[in-house]
Amino acid sequence: MKRFILIILLALQSCQTQSQTQQQTTPITTPDNAAVAYFASGCFWCVEAIYESVEGVYEVISGYSGGTEENPTYREVSYGRTSHAEAVAVYYDPKVRSFADLVSVYYASHDPTSVNRQGPDKGRQYRSIAFYQNELEKMIIESYIDSIAQYYSAPIATEIVPFEIFYPAEDYHQDYEKNNPKDPYIRAVSIPRINRFKSLLPKFLKENNKH
């Protein structure tokens, strides 16, 4: 009985607990000067909320990237049935926040040595990926890894890959942490992860996220 209860608790604290099938339909509107960057570092509910707390970020969209299948769904990705990872598209003001800043946020907000998992979420769909869209972005990512590698006891497992395509996730995933504050996973995993990030880079936070 104790083992059965433990399995239920683990399931409730997993990013895989939702299985709705509706598709993304809401249009994305951002200022004309917005740049966009793409990252994957575990459950996108957490990653989206982290980047949306950063000053200079206009909008963050949860979705799927890094794989080859067209139009993947959450059910397919979250159960490892595609080669995609849960990822985010970060729309930001390059006059306020640089790509290098976003890379700093990326490494301050997850364990880059963890292979094919973050926290309770296991599988290649939760792997660490930093996408680049040009050689400068690739150099920035590689240089940052070189600068922090000495502080880890294990090799950094982040995949550095050229960006190809991003598929927005279903509508109910967008702003999931904000819209579902009582979700067991959000309370047990996302909020502690967000708070750890805030304690590491408080100078990057929007004013209303500093408390």
Instruction: Clarify whether 46 is annotated catalytic.
Output: no
Interatomic CA distance for residues 100 and 97, integer angstroms = 8
- On whether the CB atoms of residues 114 and 66 are closer than 8 A, the answer is no
- On whether the CB atoms of residues 137 and 99 are closer than 8 A, the answer is yes
Catalytic residue, chosen from 15, 37, 40, 43, is 43
Interatomic CA distance for residues 134 and 55, integer angstroms = 24
Interatomic CA distance for residues 139 and 145, integer angstroms = 10
Q: Which residues are catalytic?
A: 43
